[in-house]
Structure 1
Amino acid sequence: MPLLLGISGSLRRHSFNTAILESLADALGDKATLRIFPLNAIPMYDQDADTETPPETVAAFRAAIGEADGIVIASPEYNHGMPGVLKNALDWASRPYGKATLTGKPVFTLTSSPGAVGGARAQAQLNETLASIGARTVLRPQSVIGAVHEKMTDGRLGNKGTLDFLMHGVDDLLREIARPASAVREAN
C-alpha cells in the first residue's frame, strides 16, 4: 500500500488544512496510508546549521519525505502567498542540493481559504517553489477550496463534493506514483 506524507502549511491547533489532510486520510481506506508530519518544530532555515548532521527535526522531516511514495501538501493563503512556515520547511527539504529527498517526488497540492479564491495565489507560489526543487507536481485542475470554514463539520471536511474532488486529486497522485520511472523520464 502506498505511503503518503501529508504536510499542512498551518500550525494552528484547529487548522482547516490539517483537518482536510485528516479527512483525506480517513477517506483513503485501503488505497493508501496518509501520515501527517507537523511543521511546528522545524527551525528557521540556517545554512550554517545545514550540515551532515542537520537539526534532529529536519533530519526526521527529510527522512519522512524519503520514505513516502508521494506527498500531499495542504496550505492556507496568508497575504496572497503561502505561509512562511511552509516555505521554510520546503527550503529545508530542498537540501542537500542535488540529493534532496523531495526532488523527483510526486506531490499533490491543495489550498484553502475562507475567501472566495480558495488560496489560488498561495498555490501558484507553492507550485513554483516545488518546481524549483524538482518535485513532480501532479498536473490537474487547480485544487482550491474557497469558503473553507463553511465546508467543515466537527473538525473534518464535511462537504462531500469538495472531498470527492480532492480524492480525485489523490487518485491522480497515486497514478503518478504508479508510473514507471522510465515513463517519467520520457515525459520530461
Structure 2
Amino acid sequence: MKILAFAGSNSKASINKKLVTHVASFFNEHDIEILDLNDYEMPLFSVDKLAKEGIPSLATDFAKKIDSSDFLLISFAENNGAYTTAFKNIFDWVSMIQGRPVFGNKQMFLLSTSPGPRGGASVMEIAKNRMPFSGGKVLDTFSLPSYNKNFVEGEGITNSEYASEVASKIAKIKAELLK
C-alpha cells in the first residue's frame, strides 16, 4: 500500500510535519512518501490567474501524488483558527482540476497539533467536515494538544494517554485498510 503524508504547513520547523512523520512511522510496513508543501509553492490562487495562466503544473503534480497513493495522512497546522495559507492555496488550485475530486476519494487519517491546549481543534473541525465534500474519506482524527509538553523529537508522543489514543486509532485504521 502507498501512503502519502504531509503537513498542512510551509514552516521549515513545522510541528505538524514532525507529528505526521511520527505517525507515518507506524505504517512502516507500507510504502510511505512524505511531502513538503514548500515543494508546491504556487502563485496565490485567483480566478483571474486561472483564466489567464491556467492551472500551475505544481498543482497537477500534487494531484498526481494523491492519485498514486492509497491512503492519506495529513496533519493540519492552524493559523487564526483555520488552514494555513500554504495548504489552502494548494487545495484551491487542485480543486480547479476538472474531472477529479481534490483528495481522489482516498481514505485518510487527519491529525493536528499546536503549542496550545486545543491542539488545532478549530482547523481539525473545519478539515473533518470539509474533506468528505472534497473526495476525502475520513477514517479517524487525532489532535495532540500542547505539543511542546507532549512530544519530543526522536521519541514521539511522550504523554502516555495521547500515545495510547493514537496507537489505538492507528490499529483500527490498519484493520480497516486491510479489509
TM-score bracket for this pair, using the shorter chain length: 0.7 to 0.9
**Alpha-carbon shift at residue 155 of structure 1 (Å):** 5.5
**Alpha-carbon shift at residue 45 of structure 1 (Å):** 2.6
| Equivalent in the alignment of 2:37 | 39
Question: Identity of aligned pairs, percent?
Answer: 20
**Alpha-carbon shift at residue 35 of structure 1 (Å):** 1.2
User: How far apart in 1 are the matches of 2:108 and 2:51?
Assistant: 24
CA offsets per residue over residues 48-97 of structure 1, 9 Å max, x none? 4489x732221211011001101111012221222122222222333434
User: How far apart in 2 are the matches of 1:11 and 1:163?
Assistant: 26
**Alpha-carbon shift at residue 157 of structure 1 (Å):** 2.3
Change (3 A) 1:42 1:33: same
User: Secondary structure of 2:112's partner?
Assistant: strand
**Alpha-carbon shift at residue 160 of structure 1 (Å):** 6.0
**Alpha-carbon shift at residue 107 of structure 1 (Å):** 1.3
| Equivalent in the alignment of 1:27 | 26
Change (3 A) 1:129 1:91: farther
User: Match of 2:111, as an amino acid?
Assistant: L
Is this contact kept in 2: 1:119–1:146, CA < 8 A?
Answer: yes
TM-score (norm 1): 0.78
User: How far apart in 2 are the matches of 1:154 and 1:102?
Assistant: 29
- Runs of at least 5 residues in structure 1 that lack an aligned partner in the other structure: 180-188
User: Match of 2:45, as an amino acid?
Assistant: Y
Aligned positions of 1:159-178 closer than 5 A = 159=158, 161=160, 162-178=162-178
Change (3 A) 1:63 1:126: same
**What is the aligned residue count?**
175
User: Secondary structure of 2:148's partner?
Assistant: helix
Change (3 A) 1:131 1:164: same
Change (3 A) 1:98 1:34: same
| Equivalent in the alignment of 1:152 | 151
Change (3 A) 1:154 1:178: closer
User: How far apart in 1 are the matches of 2:85 and 2:104?
Assistant: 20
User: How far apart in 2 are the matches of 1:70 and 1:114?
Assistant: 27
**Alpha-carbon shift at residue 127 of structure 1 (Å):** 1.7
| Equivalent in the alignment of 1:84 | 85
**Alpha-carbon shift at residue 15 of structure 1 (Å):** 1.0
Change (3 A) 1:154 1:168: same
Q: Does 2:16 align with 1:6?
A: no
User: Match of 1:3, as an amino acid?
Assistant: K
User: Match of 1:22, as an amino acid?
Assistant: T
TM-score (norm 2): 0.82
User: How far apart in 2 are the matches of 1:172 and 1:65?
Assistant: 22
Aligned positions of 1:59-74 closer than 5 A = 59-74=60-75
**Alpha-carbon shift at residue 123 of structure 1 (Å):** 0.4
Answer 1 or 2: which has greater strand percent. Answer: 2
Is this contact kept in 2: 1:106–1:176, CA < 8 A?
Answer: no
| Equivalent in the alignment of 1:135 | 136
**Alpha-carbon shift at residue 28 of structure 1 (Å):** 2.5
User: Secondary structure of 1:35's partner?
Assistant: strand
Is this contact kept in 1: 2:3–2:69, CA < 8 A?
Answer: yes
